[in-house]
Amino acid sequence: MDSLKLYEYAWLVPTLPLLSAMIVGIGLISFNQATNKLRQVNSIFIISTLGACLTLSVALFWSQWQGAEPYTKMIEWASAGDFSLSMGYTIDHLSSLMLVIVTTVALLVMIYTDGYMAHDEGYVRFYAYLSIFSASMLGLVVSPNLVQVYIFWELVGMCSYLLIGFWYDRKAAADACQKAFVTNRVGDFGLLLGMLGLYWATGSFDFGEMGIRLHELVVSGELAGWLAALFAVLVFLGPVAKSAQFPLHVWLPDAMEGPTPISALIHAATMVAAGVFLIARMYPVFEPIPVAMDLVSWVGCFTALLGATIALTQNDIKKGLAYSTISQLGYMVMAMGIGAYSAGLFHLMTHAYFKAMLFLCSGSVIHGMEEVVGHEPVLAQDMRLMGNLRKYMPITSSCFLIGTLAICGIPPFAGFWSKDEILGLAFEANPALWLIGWLTAGLTAFYMFRMYFMTFEGDFRGKDHQIQEELLAAANIIPTDEGHHGEKPHESPLTMTFPLMMLAIPSMLVGFLGMPWNNRFEEFIASPNEAVTEVAHHFDLTEFLIMAGNSVGIALIGITLASLMYSSKKIDPSAIASKFPTLYQFSLNKWYFDEFYDSVFVKGCRRIARGIMEVDYKVVDGAVNLTGLFTIVSGEGLKYLENGRAQFYALIVFGAVLSFVIAFSVIG
């Protein structure tokens, strides 16, 4: 297939998973029982279509890597007078890279799902949801303008709502999907306002044209600088919600109520990646506005620290990883804000692989723990009931260790190269940002190895009935014996361990693409406006060794502390918690954000709603009821005057005339 023909078929990448989801969905609606019986047929069909998408995505990426020109194909979608809106797709360096990331992770997650959801009644429905979720993200990636991005942006949000609340009969899952939906609506409203403001100012929805035109308007004085900054900040609200940045980060940990495969997909390649991707696409708008760039960098920096400090004390393995994701996304957003465009995207790529693997490993652990403690998530996901799982789950433990080393930034694993590049560029941009990012790297190493040691080392605590009773009592759950089948955990089936091993490969090797003495990858994903300071900088071995030594050194300190506290037991964690009870509770209760939001926004909105209801009931309804009462009373009175007797009517007329005569006489 020649290069041009390859690009002409690029529209199939988002379309194929959308069609497969539609076919399976129609089957579920029209022939529910028959479709559900064909479980393997449906899963193989959906996995095969995504496999075809992966093949095409790799071909497109390779073509771009070899130097092919970006390709855009557009059709006119709407036109009225001077207004014209086109839709289509664009394949460039950024979109081709994202296509490979999304299709790779999504395909492995779908293979993993076959084992994880094997006994679930909604097996086929889950695959349909996964397929449309993947299609939505792929459509967002190839969108050539902001309107089309917004359409797929909302589709991604809808799919996350469906998947987080997949087990909707569980109250926690139902509440979590609503929380995710409402929180994202706040950010999306800001994005919509920013979009409309930018179109009003520039007359375009095209990313590059918007940036150029906006800059010209500000320089010429036709548009106030503060107004351009406001539009950029409003647009940034969208990524703040989607990528779980402070203060709209609260939905992501609750999203763990969904099945683990979707947790991996959300955290690695779809929902949260969409926010960072939009910042990258909107870079021509953000880059010339220093206020917006500073805001982006500091929001990302604070979010990185926030997520790490909360992850320190979490006992739920999935929620610990969720706060880890929030922290790592903070690094990416900070990188975008300091102008380290390619470094942020490089970390997005490396993080996608090792975080997908870590989440799938957590699902494998949960799957194995359910054999012992049952299917209650409070027990199966709590690390205080784990321990020594390396003995029972060697593949899962090895892959989790690889992912842990990668996220901690230990060379030569993938996370070292991408995180070190961000920290190095942060030091050049603002030493304060570097210091916070450096400290966060130490916290990351501590809490990740805390998770590893609590889960895979030490003694197995799954049969400790006292801990089980305490956990169930704290969650107000009545203990049952349902789901207890064995005395010890077991390794997961091949359909679950195969994706882990496949993801372990890029978690170890993909970082070598972006080694600092090789600018090829950095130049490949350079920003549209050419971030010259980033791409053209010359490699300095001494500087690299100093910065890398600092980041690895703080990570080793974190690992050592975690080992002393949770492996060798030379330091008692509970003793430290008792010495600093305020800080411990502050971290354990997630900085009390949920309580604050519940008190101010949830309960506040309910109070306002009750006040409005009172006004509606007493004033609006009262006025309507008074009108009805007046009508009844007047009708009841008038009916006595309409008796059909002519004499009576004549008497009324005579009385009325006499009244007028007397009135005029008095007035005269």
The per-residue pLDDT for 536 is: 43
Residue 533 pLDDT greater than 60, yes or no: no
Q: pLDDT per residue over 148-179, tens digit each? A: 999 999 999 999 999 999 988 888 889 999 99
Q: For residue 204, what is the enclosing H or E element?
A: none
Contacts of 378 (CB under 8 A, 6+ apart): 471, 472, 475, 477
The per-residue pLDDT for 14 is: 93
Residue 638 pLDDT greater than 80, yes or no: no
The per-residue pLDDT for 528 is: 56
Residue 87 main-chain phi, psi, to 5 deg: -125, 160
The per-residue pLDDT for 75 is: 87
The per-residue pLDDT for 480 is: 66
Nearest to 163 by CA among 121, 128, 114, 112: 128
Peptide bond into 412 cis (omega under 30): yes
Q: Which residue has the higher pLDDT, 249 or 486?
A: 249
- DSSP 8-state symbol, 633: H
Least confident of 218-222, 507-511, 513-517: 513-517
Q: pLDDT per residue over 98-133, tens digit each? A: 999 999 999 999 999 998 888 888 899 999 999 999
Q: How far is CA 381 from CA 154, 361, 365, 462, 661, in A?
A: 31, 12, 8, 11, 94
pLDDT band at 539 (very low <50, low <70, confident <90, very high): low
Q: pLDDT per residue over 560-609, tens digit each? A: 999 999 888 888 888 888 888 888 888 888 888 988 988 888 888 888 88
Q: For residue 197, what is the enclosing H or E element?
A: helix 171-202
Please tell me the distance from the alpha carbon of residue 60 to that of residue 269, in angstroms, as a whole number: 18
Q: Which residue has the higher pLDDT, 79 or 536?
A: 79
Q: Quickly count: other Cβ atoms within 10 Å of residue 640's Cβ.
A: 7
Please tell me the distance from the alpha carbon of residue 444 to that of residue 256, in angstroms, as a whole number: 20
pLDDT band at 2 (very low <50, low <70, confident <90, very high): low
Residue 658 pLDDT greater than 60, yes or no: yes
The DSSP-derived string for 126-158 is HHHHHHHHHHHHHHHHT--BHHHHHHHHHHHHH
Cα dihedral 585/587/588/590 (nearest 10): 120
